[in-house]
Amino acid sequence: MLPQLFRDAEERMKKAVEATRTDFVSVRTGRASAGLLDHVLVQAYGTEMPLRHVANVSVPDPRTLLVTPHDKSILGDVRKALETSDVGLTPNVDGNVIRLNLPPLNEERRRELVKLVHKRAEEGRVAVRNVRRDAHDRLRQALKDGTISEDENRRATEQLQKVTDKYVAEIDRLVEHKEKEIMEV
C-alpha cells in the first residue's frame, strides 16, 4: 500500500511542477517564444481550435513571431483571434503570414511579470502541498484502520515531506530561472 501511495503522490507532484513550467512558458520575456501563443484559440471551420492546430508559429528573430496559417482562407480568423487574445500584441498581416512584433519591456512591466511568475509559482506549490495533504490523509486513514503501524506512519510521513520538499525546490528553481530571464535587459 505504501509504495503505491508514494508512486501516486510523486506522479501527481510531477504533474503539478510540469503545469507550473507550462504556465511559465506563456509569461512573456524580452525574447520571442512560440509558447506565448499556446493558449490562443481560433474560431475556424465552425469550431474553436488551438492556434497550433491551424497554423505554424516560428521565431525568425528574438523580437518577432511569425504565424503562418495552414489554410490561407482562415488568415482573417487567426488575425482576429490574436487581436482578441490576452497576448497584448498587435498582429500585422504581411501577405499570407502574420507578424507579431514584441516591443522591449520596460522596468515596470518586468517587475509586474516577475510578480505574475511568483503568483503562478505559489499556485504550483499549493498544488504540490495539496497532493501531500491527500497522501497524508490516506496515511492517517490506514493508521486508523490498522493496516500500518505508528512507526510506519511516522517514516512514511517523513518520506512524504522529503518528496514534497524536492518538488517545491524544483518550482523554486523554475522561478529563479524565469525571473532571471525576465529581468535580463
* C-alpha distances out from residue 76 to 36, 48, 81, 113, 151, Å: 20, 14, 9, 30, 65
Q: What is the pLDDT of residue 173?
A: 96
Q: Return d(Cα 77, Cα 47) in angstroms, integer.
A: 11
- How many residues in total does the chain contain? 185
User: Please, are residues 43 and 77 in contact by the beta-carbon 8 Å criterion?
Assistant: yes
Q: Which of 115, 120, 137 shows the shortest CA–CA distance to 171?
A: 120
**Over its length of 185 residues, how does the chain's per-residue pLDDT go in tens digits?**
788 999 999 999 999 999 999 888 777 676 777 777 888 899 888 899 998 899 999 888 888 889 999 988 888 999 998 888 877 778 888 888 999 888 777 888 888 889 989 999 999 999 999 999 999 999 999 999 989 999 999 999 999 999 999 999 999 999 999 998 888 75
Q: What is the pLDDT of residue 136?
A: 94
Instruction: Give the H/E segment covering residue 93.
Output: strand 91-94
Q: What is the pLDDT of residue 39?
A: 82
Q: What is the pLDDT of residue 109?
A: 81
Q: What is the pLDDT of residue 129?
A: 96
Structural domains of the chain in order of their starting residue, each with its CATH number: 2-25+106-183 (1.10.132.20), 34-101 (3.30.1360.40)
